[in-house]
């Protein structure tokens, strides 16, 4: 029995994404929204984030200052792909900060 070369591998945690490829909100776990914003025929780009942050219910338990820092919504992105990437990297950042 050789244990000298034993490596303990950390199991790879699969990314938990939904059918849109988005990770859930790192704070409340809600399914993230993604939308192409067109208002009165004007295109405003893509937005992505936590739907609860948009309606600002009290689920996140953040005051106004903390809410700004939390960055749970993003607007004016160029594409669905970019919006997805921006949101998922925000979620991963929150995970590595230990807040997820």
Note the residues at the interface with Zn ion (CB under 5 A).
25, 27-28, 30, 50, 52
d(CA 54, CA 81): 21
Instruction: Check if the beta carbon of residue 20 is closer than 8 Å to that of residue 33.
Output: no
HSE-CB of 9 using CA atoms within 13 angstroms: 4
Nearer Cβ to Zn ion, position 38 or 54?
Answer: 54
Q: Give min distance, CB of 49 to Zn ion, in A.
A: 8
Q: Give min distance, CB of 70 to Zn ion, in A.
A: 9
Retrieve residue 95's tokens: 């995970």
Nearer Cβ to Zn ion, position 42 or 74?
Answer: 74
Nearer Cβ to Zn ion, position 30 or 100?
Answer: 30
């Amino acid at each position: 029995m050789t244990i000298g070369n034993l490596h303990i591998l950390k199991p790879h945690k699969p990314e938990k994404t939904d059918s849109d490829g988005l990770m859930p909100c790192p704070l409340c776990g809600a399914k993230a929204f993604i939308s192409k914003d067109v208002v009165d025929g004007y295109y405003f780009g893509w937005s992505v984030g936590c739907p609860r942050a948009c309606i600002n219910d009290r689920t996140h338990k953040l005051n106004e200052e903390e809410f700004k820092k939390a960055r749970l919504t993003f607007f004016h992105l160029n594409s669905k792909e970019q919006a997805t990437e921006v949101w998922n990297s925000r979620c991963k950042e929150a995970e590595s900060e230990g807040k997820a």
